[in-house]
Amino acid sequence: MELKRLYHNKISRQILCSDAAMLDASFYARNNILIIAEELLGKILVTRFENKLTAARITETEAYNGIVDKASHAYNGRRTNRTEIMYKPGGTAYVYLCYGIHHLFDVVTNVQNVPHAILIRAAEPVYGIETMLKRTGKTTLDNSLTKGPGNVSKALGITTKHTAASLNGKEIYIIDDNFQTYKESIIASPRIGVDYAAEDALLPYRFYIKGNPFVSGKNNLK
DNA sequence: CTGACGATTCACT
DNA sequence: GTGAATCGTCAGC
């Protein structure tokens, strides 16, 4: 099996800052969250905070399917100060604190009042690696830099203060640089850490690029 | 107001 | 494989 190692894939600043490449509202507003979660693989998540540009190609996502999904914060229509962000229109950032330590970044999808969200679980650095290393306190680049949702946010500088931010703004956005993610290299599997969700824990709502070293867990080769 | 806990990570055995 | 870290959120009183 061919291993997709994008490790050395660097992207120019010009492309990362191109408005034309930015995913727009129509991408996020769609109804089928599984399609969007799959299509986000291979897209590039870009952040620019205090003029520090960092970017990573998405390698792993998880869909949280709104009010019918027992794994979702918005299950059964739950509305709180925190989850209210999930009810915003597609193309909004939903960031929350997990275990008091980790800031997890989600992409809100669908239309207003339909609380769909896609967790970005892993990505492969393509720009601003020095900045990412500084943010994470690491000295060398390896897959731990952006493998796992807490690590992605940390490397890209995303925190809970960015929740509700538009993904069509200047600070956080996702671009399509026409990178080809081949269907046969995409795996769907159950989501991680959602045992509490009863039968919904078994749904194949996690998507990742087969064999990519920037994917959480150990068993990403099959 | 209080207590329980989490869409995790990392160090250690 | 096990356990600690660490705090905002949320249900319940």
CA/C1' separation A156–C11 (Å)? 33
Mark A63-81 as b/e (b = at least 16 C-beta within 10 Å).
Answer: bbbbeebebbbbbeeeeee
What is the reported pLDDT for A8?
58
Decide: A178 and A46 in contact? Cβ < 8 Å: no
CB-strand contact A72/B, under 7 Å? yes
d(CA A118, CA A92): 11
d(CA A40, CA A25): 14
CA/C1' separation A74–C9 (Å)? 14
Q: State how far the alpha carbon of A41 is from the alpha carbons of A44, A51, A75, A77, A145, in Å.
A: 8, 26, 25, 28, 18
Q: Which nucleotide has the least CA–C1' distance to A137?
A: B10
What nucleotides of chain C have any atom within 7 angstroms of a protein Cβ? 5-11
Does this model's pTM top 0.85? My answer is yes
Q: How confident is the model over A152-173, as pLDDT tens digits? A: 999 999 999 999 999 999 999 9
pLDDT at A4 over 90: no
What is the reported pLDDT for A3?
43
CA/C1' separation A77–C1 (Å)? 37
Least Cα distance to A41 among A193, A181, A146 occurs for A181
Q: Which nucleotide has the least CA–C1' distance to A102?
A: B8
CB-strand contact A80/C, under 7 Å? yes
What average pLDDT does range A75-94 have in this prediction? Answer: 98
Alpha-helical regions (H) of A110-195: 129-136, 149-156
Q: Using the C1' atom of nucleotide B9, identify the protein residue whose alpha carbon is closest.
A: A150
Q: Domain A13-209: what homologous superfamily?
A: Methylpurine-DNA glycosylase (MPG) (3.10.300.10)
CB-strand contact A101/C, under 7 Å? yes
DSSP state of A157: T
